[in-house]
Structure 1
Amino acid sequence: MQPLSGLLVLDFTTLLPGPLATLMLAEAGAEVIKIERPGGEEMRHYEPRFDGESAMFAQLNRGKTSLVLDLKSAADCAKLKPLLARADILVEQFRPGVMTRLGFGYDAVRAVNPKLIYCSITGYGQSGPRAAEAGHDLNYIGHTGLLALNPGPPDRPVVPPALVADIAGGTLPAVMNILLALRQRDHTGEGCHLDIAMTDGMFTFASHALAAGHATGQFPGMGGARLSGGSPRYQIYPTRDGKFVCCAALEQKFWEAFTEAIGLDAKFVDDGRDAAATKAAVTSLIASRTADEWRPVLAAADCCVTIMATLEEALRDPHFAGRGLFAHKVAGPSGKTMPALPVPIAPGFRGARGVAKAVPKLGAGELN
């Protein structure tokens, strides 16, 4: 039996933060019913396709069931009420006030099911001046100062490669607090309303810059913090063949091992004297050889410095394959499979490896 076996989750969410949160609950054994509008949620129409389905939708909704309801229809809303009465968890991702206008706000649902854990995921939270604002990941990391720590050069700013606000500000806090709420319910017998704001979580990711600013009264500027470009010890250095060395030799023993391995002139090893000069010297040395030439040198030094891998290279890495990250499968309508999305659920909680769970067919769920 899995940790969340026997729990019923009603998923009113779309796109990424909520669906990924309920996927994690499903992977730990919960039954997840995805409540979709007529025609299905928008991600069903996203490219690329896998076996006729949206590949991203397939990965985020593996093993769930789909129930189509028009929440503006009184008849469909009546059909939903028996599910609300027996559900353990509800996750919604509308703007504040929408569920209340539909008749399914927390107070209304609590009156039917006081044990329900009701989780609301939004960009800015249920209260505050920005609560009703529309936004996406880039807006959230931009509004909280996180992106300003290093957006790239002014003439060619870089869009971050990860949806940090969606996943680290929405999905993960939602799952964490749902699990805490379940534990609290064990003690009290009562559910609660969880207000998850993706922007709130972004300040956690600026911890190093916040510590510096609060301690000194001066907050780091663009690329100025130690972990966002201000130190030669924590940098990305291009190689001669257009690949990159990821240097994270922060501790002195790792820094000394790295500088010795690459043959850095002794006058640049003390990076506290002139960090810019040290960075330039390291840049020049790394650019003098290819990634394959540096790889064995850096591996032998064991100094927290590695060659950047492409996603395809990472998928072929025997370490990740050996840990079973890609052993779970998603099954399309024809039975065709692809690897399921790796999620941070301990293997012993996630269920048997190699089991192919289906993409939810639109409206295939039944009310009972």
Structure 2
Amino acid sequence: MGKLSGIKVVDLTQFLPGPMLSLMMADQGASVIKVEPAAGDPARSQAPFENGQSVWFSNLNRGKTSIVLDLKNEAGKNSLRDLIRIADVFLEGFRPGVTARLGFGWDVARALNPRLVYCSISAFGQSGRLAHHPAHDIAVQAMAGFISVNDAGDGSCPVVPGVPAAGVAAGLTGLAAVLMALIGREKSGQGDYLDIAMLDSLLPWSAHIAGGALAGGAAPFSAAQRSLGGAAFYNVYECADGRHIVLGGRELKFATALLTALGRPDLIALAEADAGPAQVPLIDFLRETFRTRSREAWDAFMHTVDVAYAPVLDFAEAFAQPHIAERGLIVEADGRHHIAPAIRFTGEAWFPGPVPALGEA
């Protein structure tokens, strides 16, 4: 049945944040109606494809139903009004003001259904000078300060981030907000309006790296930050075969174990130094050392040492790990591969729901 069985969600969102939010609800039993234009969610056309469906679309929209509505004509508007009347949750991801102009703003929706939890997801929120500024994930990350430290640890030109962190943050934050509002509704009997912004959702993730700037000081520089490249035992190292490993734990016990195993206990004190210039000699030693063996050889060696580390895997290698299979994190259904939800309850089996064709109930 699922923890959210009986909850009805009307989802007008596309691409990533909103579909991710409603996916997590569908995976737990909520009934999610995906409202699409005649052209469908653009994610449907994004390669690669597996068994006739976009892998991206399949992994964000399984377990939902699809309905095509033209919200610019009265028939489509009437159909959406009917859906709102029976919904628990309404999700939209248009630019601020669009749903109001279509006749489905919060005031209208609340009049149709006072118990409705109405969630708007946007890049910069429904208010403020950036509200109408067009942006996808990379632009939001740039405005939040994250791109400035997304370099090689040497102050070089920032690069495109590998993870759509702003979109994912908004999806997770939106889910938490919707569930809070549903719990609150049980007490008040009334719905809520939620203004979820990608920028707002991502900004709290900076507290551990941008504390100085938050307190009114200088902006962080990656090469001087303990978790951004300025610490020897929280860094990326190239191996002899051009592949890489990471050291991922700065605790002194890890530095002591590895440097002793490498015959350089004299460098242990450097691991306790502040991140930045003081650790450069240790970083240089480790760079030279890791270049002497292949990633496979280092992987075997590191298993004999009590140190937090990992080989840098590409996605194909990551998905093929035995641990992934042991945890049941990749599930095949209808000839398609799905990443299992991170939230799975003990004693409750999970299996991916079908991926809806456009307009398929």
CA distance in 1, matches of 2:352, 2:279: 52
Q: 1:39 to 1:219 in 2, by over 3 A?
A: closer
Report deviation, 1:357. Answer: 2.5
The amino acid of 2:337's aligned partner reads: P
CA distance in 2, matches of 1:352, 1:339: 17
Percent of residue pairs identical: 35
1:212-266 CA-partner distances (Å, limit 9, x unpaired): 3445833312432211112112100111111111112211111211222333361
1:339 — aligned with what?
A: 337
Report deviation, 1:156. Answer: 5.7
CA distance in 2, matches of 1:267, 1:363: 64
- Superposition map of 1:37-76 within 5 A: 37-76=37-76
Q: Does residue 288 of structure 1 match 2:289?
A: no
- Superposition map of 1:251-270 within 5 A: 251-264=251-264, 266-267=266-267, 269-270=269-270
The amino acid of 2:4's aligned partner reads: L
1:298 — aligned with what?
A: 302
CA distance in 2, matches of 1:3, 1:268: 50
- Superposition map of 1:91-240 within 5 A: 91-152=91-152, 157-168=158-169, 170-214=170-214, 217-240=217-240
CA distance in 1, matches of 2:230, 2:207: 15
Report deviation, 1:206. Answer: 1.3
The amino acid of 2:237's aligned partner reads: Y
CA distance in 2, matches of 1:292, 1:106: 57
Q: 1:284 to 1:265 in 2, by over 3 A?
A: farther
Q: Which TM-score applies when normalising by structure 1?
A: 0.91
CA distance in 2, matches of 1:131, 1:308: 38
| Structure 1 residue ranges without an equivalent (≥5) | 332-336
Q: Which TM-score applies when normalising by structure 2?
A: 0.93
CA distance in 2, matches of 1:156, 1:239: 24
Select 1:315's aligned residue among 305, 319, 323.
Answer: 319
Q: Does residue 364 of structure 1 match 2:360?
A: yes
CA distance in 1, matches of 2:23, 2:269: 48
Q: 1:267 to 1:303 in 2, by over 3 A?
A: closer
Bigger RCO of structures 1 and 2 (CA < 8 A, at least 6 apart): 1
Deviates more, 1:40-49 or 1:30-39: 40-49
CA distance in 1, matches of 2:323, 2:27: 22
CA distance in 1, matches of 2:333, 2:120: 27
| Structure 2 residue ranges without an equivalent (≥5) | none
Q: 1:98 to 1:344 in 2, by over 3 A?
A: same
Q: How many residues align?
A: 356
The amino acid of 1:45's aligned partner reads: S
CA distance in 2, matches of 1:35, 1:348: 32
Q: Give yes or no for contact 1:236–1:246 (8 Å, CA) kept in 2.
A: yes
Could you say what secondary structure the match of 2:23 adopts?
helix
CA distance in 1, matches of 2:329, 2:222: 35
Could you say what secondary structure the match of 1:301 adopts?
coil
1:82-129 CA-partner distances (Å, limit 9, x unpaired): 111010001110011000000001111001101000111110011100
CA RMSD of aligned residues (A): 1.9
Q: 1:47 to 1:232 in 2, by over 3 A?
A: same
1:257-308 CA-partner distances (Å, limit 9, x unpaired): 1222333361464242831111111111111111121112212212111211
1:173-192 CA-partner distances (Å, limit 9, x unpaired): 01111111111111111110
Q: Does residue 24 of structure 1 match 2:24?
A: yes
Deviates more, 1:248-257 or 1:127-136: 248-257
The amino acid of 1:161's aligned partner reads: G
CA distance in 2, matches of 1:113, 1:52: 38
CA distance in 1, matches of 2:315, 2:36: 32
CA distance in 1, matches of 2:352, 2:254: 43
